[in-house]
Structure 1
Amino acid sequence: MNRTRLLPLFLAFFLMLGAMPALAQTPTLDAAKEAQSAEPNTDNSETEVPKHLASPRDTLSTFLESMNRVETDRTDEAAWERIYSTLEIPKSAGSARKEVAWQLLGVFNSLGKIDPQTMTPGVDEIKTDKLKNFEFFPDNPRPAAQKIIKPALSQLGEAPSSVIIHRVDSGAWKFAGESLDQIPQLYGWISERGVRYGLDIRQRSASAWIRSMVPGSLKGRFVLGMEAWQWLGLLGLAFICVCIDLTARVLISPVAKRLVNRYLGAPDDDLLKTTVRPMGFGLGAAAFLLLVNLLGLSGMALTVLVVAARVVLVVCITWAAWMMTDLLAAAFMRRASKTDSTFDDMIIPLLRKTVKLFIVAIGLIYVADSFDIELLPLLGSLGLAGLAISFAAQDMVKNLFGGLSIFMDRPFKVGERIVYKGYDGVIEEIGFRITRMRTLTGHLVTIPNGGITNDPIENIGRRPYIRRTINVTITYDTPAEKIQQAVQIIKDILEEPGIAEPIHGRIGADEFPPRVYFNDYNAASLNIFVIYWHFPPAYWEYMEHGEKFNQRLFEEYAKAEIEFAFPTQTLYLAGDPNRPLSVGLENLNPTEGSGG
């Protein structure tokens, strides 16, 4: 087999696994649910706070200045990083942070010109007033802020939410996650007022532009945190994903079949369909994650939808990789069945299980990441429970090392017949932890590998021959010359064509000719001992050979009028005229010392 031809398949397999991290990081907005500092400290004097986040004034100034930079250059990553640092949104939210930033800027631009110096407190003021939270909108106590806030409230009515800047555990000031969750609603409410200063963010935000094109009857009313147009958009997005799923399956199936047929041989159609199915689901989930930001969602609505889609995507990739492993293993097993070696028959199932275990482990890691679960602290918190688990897992570890010992020492192979603790059967599968044996009666026996390495095993499959011993019994009334004839008949039969060939083989340099002897007197017969060795050790060929020998022996003894003996007893009866039997009593002298 040309292994280089398999390279494209292996590359595709591992690229799909490698795509899981990138796709799993698709935007979500779990605002205010993830601490931004690993070492919380409420005493700001002991923590070095970045100057651009030292107060609400610095945070607002940093946000506005950086947004001005990305207005002219949307690829300015340094500016985006400074913007993200002002928002209490986890890094895993990805590009969703940009949508929130644009909508927050849209809120400010609809209010009017924002002056951080007069509208927010500085470092000295927060120290004097010991501030921990500052509400910028709508209840901003600063007169300069009220000049632009009051006209908006008088025109639009009560604001649906607020904009709050608060101090996080690290001491830095950021836009609070709770208020950022409500930014889409706030922007939808205040955007009806139009732009009073700066850029119309509809030129930068796709979701804002889409919302501006939606009829007014579908905006303004929220159900479960979403406007009517967003619900309709969600249904449309679901329909698009279903279409992508069906189309992908139709397009991928013939291509996959040609590739598998070319590189791996004729595939199992059912297995191929099962492998392609999760690929369509996965592409649909990926499309959902890429397009959901167009709906301008945030908060719990976005979190639920995105986390669900990310889990579906990870499960689909894991499922596809799992089935692809079965597809590759089935192809390699077909090739292995055509070789003389049985080592590949053992190693392929083991590699399949190992790869599947790795795939499931990677999948679980990314599912946990989708829920923002950190595994290392979780594992570290096990403590004594981990010690208890380690004691409980002793047998498992023992079996794992037993499996490695079997693969290194190779006391048996798949397909060989062994006898182990009274079980006689054929090895079907050798795994890391257990070995499966099918007994001659059809039962499946599961044997822990840890015990196999310590107990004796009789490997019948590796015997070089099958030895047969026979005790041919003839009757006691057989004359001496007939006894010699009986022995010679057996010797002649063992030299006949068709019978002689399998029993005149060689093992190394030692010949094993058949042996025939008149060797014993049994209780009811004369015994002729026969021994021969059948080569090769093929059991059913051995049985056919034995049947042929038995038939010839029966025929030749019948011709020579030699009778086979069987266990007999002779019973003589009193009064039988043919065999007279005298019965009487003997005079017994009483022993000395006995009474009477």
Structure 2
Amino acid sequence: MQKSLLFFLVFLSVLSTQTTAQLIDDKVVKDQFTDQINLSSPYYTTLTFFYNLEETNFRPKEAAKALRIPENPEEDGEGLAIKLKQIFEGQGVIIRTSSIPNISNYQDSTSGVREPVYYFDKSTLPGVFLEKVGNQWKFSAFTISQIPDLHQETYPYGTDRLLNLLPKIGTQEYFGLYLWQLSGMFLLLFLIFLAHFFFTFLVDKVLVYFFKKLKHQQLGESYILPVARIISYYLIVLLLSVFMPVLQLPVEIWSWIIVILNTLKPLLITVAFYKLVNVVAVYFARLATKTESTLDDQLVPLMRKTLKAFVVIIGTLFILRDGLNLDIIPFLTGLSIGGVAIALAAQDTIKNFFGSVMIFIDKPFQVGDWITSGDIDGTVEEVGFRSTRIRTFRNSLMYVPNGKIADAVLDNHGLRRYRRFLTTLTVTYDTPPLLIEEFVKGLREIVEAHPDTRKDYYHIYFNNLSSYSQDIMFYIFFEVPGWPDELRARHEILIQIVKLANSLGVRFAFPTQTLHMESFPEKKDLIPEYPADSTFYQKKLGEFLSTELKKK
């Protein structure tokens, strides 16, 4: 940055050799202007005032006659005239004589007043204007009353004292600038180097050390440090804005420097806020990790993008208004009218945007939920401003407009607290009732012993007699977060059921056709023989419970 400033100041001094240090741009007219006092029109009053304040013919007493001074002024007319010229110079206002009316009875139709007045620059100096007093045009009494405040605003923090102090250094000319101007430039350059060194030390050393002590070094170096550096550059620009008007540089150059400085101020503030959005996003991201909803994690990047767009838009408006001195009211009016046309042409986009807003407000689902609705069937991966990305079970991606989702009836399987599992256990018809009773008791013990089953609501009953089997309804619920956990729990339950059946000697039935024939003495029947004593089955069940379920 030091090299850039040095190059800028050298370029400034070289360029200044090609111009004059005067406010009036028409040198031919000034050379032909010999009458020291002529107040017959805005044109001649302007020439009278600035001509008599030039360094070659410095007559502030004659220049003060162009001011409408009250009877008992707080300051003499000569001092007010000099201050008014310094205000023009400090504000970088170029007086173009070709645009000043040379009409004695000039009437400004845009001023909104009936009295004859003439404004030099309504945007920069709205309170400085000429008015007709009798047959003469003079700087208005209102302008005279505003001179002390305008001078203090143009040269703040006591820098106005340097206007009388610096010229005492010397008025010799070098490279088109006076010696006191060159001395002031080198002094200002030294102050900039000193300020840059101080801000760099404060930001890169002290700030990083502070965050390191707080054990947030990553946050400080990655997010806070870039913002602090931009703010340090902004402070240097403020330093230039305060001290550079004192140098009284050629107004043709100074007017462009003012534009650059006034543009840099809102630009650097915009960049600082743009980077500050990352700090806010990190804070909200940490808050989102503490909530159970995964939809908050998707909201943080959307919020970051929205805030950055908002900062860029507002910053651009301030740059246009303060830097380039443009009237943004017609621009905003045009945006409002064009916004209606854009809204009509982008109804679907706006509908999708408000659909996304409703999704984030109502939270009908979150990232990772399995949802179904018509053709929609899959797991939510990401929620954007326009569409929601859903991963189908075919591993393809489905992009669904948020407006469609907001209007659809969704079945959110991911919000289930319990996951139902219903199956029918079919046992053969030769299974005796006592064995079925003990088998059902064992099934209930399996459900009670499993850590992921709902204990307050399940149904296990001998439920039906079908064409080839005796049916036991097995109706339970799993309290698990996702489908993989549900599959794991099913696997564990079914394994225990098979082990229980093998332990008790329960045979599962399947669709068959049995042909009964006479029993032969030498042939053993295929139907197993079941003990009639119920204690036998109770003993078998006890052995199973003590060996298998105790393992859990």
Q: Shorter-chain-normalised TM-score: which range?
A: 0.5 to 0.7
1:244 & 1:392 partners in 2: Cα distance?
54
Aligned counterpart, 1:593: none
Please report the RMSD computed on the Cα atoms of aligned residues, expressed in angstroms: 5.6
Aligned counterpart, 1:455: 408
Deviation at 1:368, TM superposition (A): 1.4
Aligned counterpart, 1:55: 42
Structure 2 unaligned regions, length at least 5: 1-22, 25-38, 51-62, 96-100, 123-158, 514-552
The one-letter code sitting in structure 2 at the alignment partner of 1:457 is L
Instruction: Kindly indicate whether the alpha-carbon contact (under 8 Å) linking 1:521 and 1:527 is maintained by their aligned counterparts in 2.
Output: no
Query: Per-residue CA shift, 1:494-535, capped at 9, x if unaligned?
Result: 4237645643445xxxx443456456558xx99765332123
Classify the secondary structure of the residue corresponding to 2:274: helix
Decide which of 236, 240, 248 is 1:288's aligned counterpart.
240
Deviation at 1:467, TM superposition (A): 0.7
Aligned length: 413
Deviation at 1:381, TM superposition (A): 4.7
- Larger mean CA deviation between 540-549 and 338-347 belongs to 338-347
Aligned counterpart, 2:492: 548
Deviation at 1:395, TM superposition (A): 2.0
Please say if 1:373 is aligned against 2:326: yes
2:167 & 2:447 partners in 1: Cα distance?
96
Query: Per-residue CA shift, 1:170-208, capped at 9, x if unaligned?
Result: 68557799xxxxxxxxxxxxxxxxxxxxxxxxx967468
Deviation at 1:388, TM superposition (A): 3.8
Deviation at 1:454, TM superposition (A): 1.1
Return closer, same or farther for 1:323/1:274 CA change in 2, 3 Å cut-off: same
Please say if 1:513 is aligned against 2:500: no
Deviation at 1:466, TM superposition (A): 0.1
Aligned counterpart, 1:48: none
Aligned counterpart, 1:250: 204
Over the matched positions of the two proteins, sequence identity in percent amounts to: 23
The one-letter code sitting in structure 1 at the alignment partner of 2:276 is M
Return closer, same or farther for 1:558/1:341 CA change in 2, 3 Å cut-off: closer
Return closer, same or farther for 1:482/1:423 CA change in 2, 3 Å cut-off: same
Query: Per-residue CA shift, 1:311-365, capped at 9, x if unaligned?
Result: 3432332232233333234234424533567897687666655544443332111
The one-letter code sitting in structure 1 at the alignment partner of 2:272 is A
Aligned counterpart, 1:20: none
Aligned counterpart, 2:345: 392
Query: Per-residue CA shift, 1:30-54, capped at 9, x if unaligned?
Result: x99xxxxxxxxxxxxxxxxxxx995
2:225 & 2:270 partners in 1: Cα distance?
16
Aligned counterpart, 1:530: 474
2:198 & 2:396 partners in 1: Cα distance?
47
2:328 & 2:370 partners in 1: Cα distance?
45
Classify the secondary structure of the residue corresponding to 2:378: strand
Instruction: Kindly indicate whether the alpha-carbon contact (under 8 Å) linking 2:442 and 2:500 is maintained by their aligned counterparts in 1.
Output: no
1:176 & 1:99 partners in 2: Cα distance?
10
Instruction: Kindly indicate whether the alpha-carbon contact (under 8 Å) linking 2:163 and 2:246 is maintained by their aligned counterparts in 1.
Output: yes
Deviation at 1:455, TM superposition (A): 1.5
The one-letter code sitting in structure 1 at the alignment partner of 2:42 is S
Q: What does residue range 423-442 of structure 1 map to in structure 2 within 5 Å?
A: 423-426=377-380, 433-435=386-388
The one-letter code sitting in structure 2 at the alignment partner of 1:377 is P
Deviation at 1:366, TM superposition (A): 0.9
Return closer, same or farther for 1:438/1:279 CA change in 2, 3 Å cut-off: farther
Return closer, same or farther for 1:240/1:548 CA change in 2, 3 Å cut-off: same
1:441 & 1:238 partners in 2: Cα distance?
64
Greater RCO, 1 or 2 (C-alpha within 8 Å, sep 6+): 1
Classify the secondary structure of the residue corresponding to 1:456: coil
1:383 & 1:333 partners in 2: Cα distance?
34
The one-letter code sitting in structure 2 at the alignment partner of 1:451 is K
Return closer, same or farther for 1:258/1:520 CA change in 2, 3 Å cut-off: same
Instruction: Kindly indicate whether the alpha-carbon contact (under 8 Å) linking 2:352 and 2:386 is maintained by their aligned counterparts in 1.
Output: yes
Query: Per-residue CA shift, 1:361-403, capped at 9, x if unaligned?
Result: 3211112121223222234457985554232221232123323
Aligned counterpart, 1:37: none
Return closer, same or farther for 1:323/1:173 CA change in 2, 3 Å cut-off: closer
Instruction: Kindly indicate whether the alpha-carbon contact (under 8 Å) linking 1:350 and 1:432 is maintained by their aligned counterparts in 2.
Output: yes
Deviation at 1:215, TM superposition (A): 8.4
Aligned counterpart, 1:40: none
Aligned counterpart, 1:322: 274
1:410 & 1:553 partners in 2: Cα distance?
39
The one-letter code sitting in structure 2 at the alignment partner of 1:249 is V
Query: Per-residue CA shift, 1:194-252, capped at 9, x if unaligned?
Result: xxxxxxxxx96746865664784633279xxxx98898788667645643552342366
Instruction: Kindly indicate whether the alpha-carbon contact (under 8 Å) linking 1:271 and 1:323 is maintained by their aligned counterparts in 2.
Output: yes
Decide which of 440, 449, 467 is 2:420's aligned counterpart.
467
The one-letter code sitting in structure 2 at the alignment partner of 1:481 is T
Instruction: Kindly indicate whether the alpha-carbon contact (under 8 Å) linking 1:433 and 1:448 is maintained by their aligned counterparts in 2.
Output: yes
Classify the secondary structure of the residue corresponding to 2:431: helix
Aligned counterpart, 1:492: 442
The one-letter code sitting in structure 2 at the alignment partner of 1:274 is P
Instruction: Kindly indicate whether the alpha-carbon contact (under 8 Å) linking 2:446 and 2:493 is maintained by their aligned counterparts in 1.
Output: no
Classify the secondary structure of the residue corresponding to 1:531: strand
TM-score by length of 1: 0.52
Query: Per-residue CA shift, 1:40-73, capped at 9, x if unaligned?
Result: xxxxxxxxxxxx9953454467784388989x97
Please say if 1:363 is aligned against 2:315: yes
1:332 & 1:406 partners in 2: Cα distance?
19
2:446 & 2:208 partners in 1: Cα distance?
61
1:442 & 1:237 partners in 2: Cα distance?
63
Query: Per-residue CA shift, 1:126-160, capped at 9, x if unaligned?
Result: 459x9x9xxxxxxxxxxxxxxxxxxxxxxxxxxxx
Deviation at 1:406, TM superposition (A): 3.2
2:395 & 2:241 partners in 1: Cα distance?
51
